[in-house]
């Protein structure tokens, strides 16, 4: 294989799932993956800093994609919406994270100067 063909598509990142690659949906999925028993609608709304309407819209996208399940139930005679990540949703999320790690590694590798040092703009902040 010549060097040109080995680099074709190198930065295509097909694992950057378009359903996940949106700030609000990434926030929702991260919240749910760290709370496998699920979260209520209100908990998600607070954790992700979203409005009712915005969260509802993103939950619909994720549910249609079979990444989450939404369970309507009663808690002390009050309606409650519980959201949980599905097994396939967890797998897609982990694939997405793996691809993001590759993006970071590629960016780091490609931006090192000849001495092998990261440019100051890419170094972790010295807080």
Name which of 18, 15, 8, 26 is nearest 100 in CA terms: 15
Q: 22-74: per-residue pLDDT in tens? A: 999 999 999 999 999 999 999 999 999 999 999 999 999 999 999 999 999 88
Q: Which domain CATH number covers 85?
A: 1.10.10.10
Domain that holds residue 55: 15-104
Biggest CA–CA distance in the chain, Å, is 68
Answer whether residue 88 is part of any domain: yes
Answer whether residue 66 is part of any domain: yes
Q: Are 83 and 59 in contact (CB under 8 A)?
A: yes
Answer whether residue 71 is part of any domain: yes
Answer whether residue 65 is part of any domain: yes
Q: 7-27: per-residue pLDDT in tens? A: 667 788 887 889 999 999 999
Token pair of 93 as six digits: 């999320």
Question: What pTM was estimated for this model as a whole?
Answer: 0.77
pLDDT of res. 125:
58
pLDDT of res. 106:
87
Please, where are the H alpha helices in the chain? 3-7, 23-33, 41-48, 52-64, 87-111
pLDDT of res. 75:
83
Query: What mean pLDDT comes out for the span 94-102?
Result: 94
pLDDT of res. 72:
94
pLDDT of res. 123:
59
What average pLDDT does the structure give for the chain? 86
């Amino acid at each position: 294989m010549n060097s040109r063909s080995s680099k074709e598509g190198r930065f295509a990142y097909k694992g950057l799932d378009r359903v996940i690659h949106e700030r609000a949906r990434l926030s929702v999925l991260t919240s749910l993956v760290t709370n496998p028993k699920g979260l209520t609608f209100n908990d998600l709304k607070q954790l992700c800093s979203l409005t009712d309407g915005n969260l509802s819209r993103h939950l619909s996208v994720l549910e249609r994609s079979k990444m989450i399940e939404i369970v309507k139930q009663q808690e002390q005679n009050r309606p409650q919406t519980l959201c949980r990540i599905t097994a396939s949703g967890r797998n897609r999320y982990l694939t997405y994270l793996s691809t993001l790690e590759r993006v970071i590694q590629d960016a780091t590798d490609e931006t090192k100067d000849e001495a092998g040092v990261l440019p100051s703009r890419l170094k972790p902040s010295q807080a």
